[in-house]
Chain A
Amino acid sequence: MSKSSARKLRRMSSGPQDAKVERRRLALVFGIFMLLAAPTVFLVQSRSYPTASPFKLIDITGAGYAGDFLLPDHNGVTRSLKDFNGEVAVVFFGFTQCPDVCPTTLTEVVQARKLMGSDGAKLKAIFVTVDPERDTFPVLKTYMANFDPAFVALRPDPGQLQQLAKEFKLHIRKNPGQSPTSYTMDHTAASFVYDPRGRLRLYARYGAGAEALAHDAKLLLNGA
């Protein structure tokens, strides 16, 4: 073996030791990072989810969208949030000809009214169709008869629906079916909850449950 090749060999065999040092250094950097990251994550989380919120649904008080509407209901009467002054209004979107599985939001509001006892009469569901083509006024009238007579179905025309989608930041998409009338609609399934002064306060994900709604609606009626 020549001298130069022996040196080369030494350099090569020192490789694994270099790697060991490198690994130790990496571990140290990672440790320091974790020490700093953990409290930061905790602080950020505790700030964006204040544990003091009395609501079970998502508090979106002050959100700059989903302000109001002016639309005809299933009886042809033009409605806006003013009509629900002194009450808690739950606004959500859908269509009556659901193809495979039907949402149970209206049933959930019926249930929440029962849970609220005498206050229940002040909780109102406002169902807005995203399918005015098939959800005509007579169809909506028949449909709403299945729920509480105090509930309201609104029918925007296609132009109003576009405006509404912008105002409420809705995702609405028509999926063609096998025939021209068998299409389905993708749409935002969440609900918007307004306080007795008509201000947007809460956001309820689909399936949040009647109990959470009844609890929060009571708080809003009591001036929360």
Chain B
Amino acid sequence: MHAPLDESIRPRGRRWLLAVGLSAAAGLGVFAYFHSNRPPGGASTSALPLVMRAQPVPLPNLRVLDGTGRPVDLASFKGKMVLLNIWATWCPPCRQEMPSLDRLQAQLGGGDFQVVALSVDAGAKALDRVKSFYASEGIKHLAVYLDADAAAIFTLKAGGVPTTLLLDRQGRELGRMSGTAEWDSPQIVKALQALLGAQAK
């Protein structure tokens, strides 16, 4: 008695199964794609507070000033991994995290890694303000860099300060975050060391 009914339902049931199966396969594919495109050492980057890119993203060049007022290209840091911190003296959270960036530079800075603290302070006294902040906070290991045109905010699309980007040895963006972190915490140092090892030449 119920046989015809059952038959009319069964093909539809199979179609549903097929649809679910196909969606699952597609989802798995997308996951696998992004997973395979993670930077090497992907497992350890989860300890970083940064939002990591699926793959390294080339950045436009940025010309800034050093502590003596001479122009420096962001591209000149190629060959090192760079933690680029965009900040300003008028920004309380930026001021708060600067000592931890200084300690990170003391610990990991060298030929293979550098913390670049780039101030977007504006005006004729900008360089003086940055230097007097370094002096009052005892910042000793970070070099002074000034982006008086605030080009970093616009060309690197930083929505606010602080914004911190991690760049690979080719100057490409590996990841970024807005807001503060305890940059010399053991987890972050360990994750950065692992990344430096994984991306070794």
* Chain A residues proximal to chain B, CB less than 8 Å: 5, 9, 12-13, 15-16, 96-104, 107-108, 110-111, 114, 143, 146-148, 206-207, 209-211
Give the 7 A-B CB pairs with smallest separation, nearest first: A101-B160, A146-B90, A102-B91, A100-B179, A13-B4, A107-B150, A16-B8
**Nearest CB in chain B: distance from A22 CB, A:** 14
**Given contacts A146-B121, A146-B129, is CB(A110)–CB(B150) below 8 Å?**
yes
**Nearest CB in chain A: distance from B177 CB, A:** 10
- Give Cα distance in the complex from A151 to B50, angstroms: 34
Give chain A residues whose Cβ lies under 8 Å from the Cβ of B120.
Answer: 104, 107
**Nearest CB in chain A: distance from B45 CB, A:** 21
CB of A107 within 8 A of CB of B153, answer yes
Give chain B residues whose Cβ lies under 8 Å from the Cβ of A12.
Answer: 4-5
CB of A104 within 8 A of CB of B5, answer no
User: Any chain A CB within 8 A of the CB of B159?
Assistant: yes
**27 contacting pairs across A/B (C-beta < 8 A):** A5-B1, A9-B4, A96-B92, A98-B92, A101-B162, A101-B178, A102-B88, A102-B91, A102-B161, A102-B162, A103-B160, A104-B120, A104-B160, A107-B120, A107-B150, A108-B153, A110-B122, A111-B150, A111-B154, A146-B88, A146-B89, A146-B90, A146-B122, A146-B123, A146-B129, A147-B123, A206-B159
B161-178 residues at the A interface, CB under 8 angstroms: 161-163, 178
Give chain A residues whose Cβ lies under 8 Å from the Cβ of B159.
Answer: 101, 104, 206-207
Give chain A residues whose Cβ lies under 8 Å from the Cβ of B158.
Answer: 104
Give chain B residues whose Cβ lies under 8 Å from the Cβ of A148.
Answer: 122-123
**Given contacts A98-B92, A146-B129, is CB(A210)–CB(B154) below 8 Å?**
yes
B1-39 residues at the A interface, CB under 8 angstroms: 1, 4-5, 8
User: Any chain A CB within 8 A of the CB of B42?
Assistant: no
CB of A100 within 8 A of CB of B123, answer no
CB of B153 within 8 A of CB of A100, answer no
B76-134 residues at the A interface, CB under 8 angstroms: 88-94, 120-123, 129
**A107 contact from B8, B88, B92, Cβ within 8 A:** B88
* Chain B binding surface SS class: loop
- Give Cα distance in the complex from A78 to B179, angstroms: 35
Interface size bracket, B side: 20 to 34
- Give Cα distance in the complex from A107 to B121, angstroms: 8
- Give Cα distance in the complex from A111 to B149, angstroms: 6
- Give Cα distance in the complex from A209 to B159, angstroms: 10
Nearest chain B residue, comparing its CB with the CB of A113: B122
- Give Cα distance in the complex from A15 to B12, angstroms: 13
**Nearest CB in chain A: distance from B64 CB, A:** 14
CB of A101 within 8 A of CB of B93, answer yes
B134-149 residues at the A interface, CB under 8 angstroms: 149
Give chain B residues whose Cβ lies under 8 Å from the Cβ of A146.
Answer: 88-90, 121-123, 129
CB of B154 within 8 A of CB of A99, answer no
User: Any chain A CB within 8 A of the CB of B187?
Assistant: no
- Give Cα distance in the complex from A210 to B122, angstroms: 14
CB of B160 within 8 A of CB of A102, answer yes
CB of B90 within 8 A of CB of A143, answer yes
- Give Cα distance in the complex from A81 to B44, angstroms: 54
**Nearest CB in chain A: distance from B76 CB, A:** 24
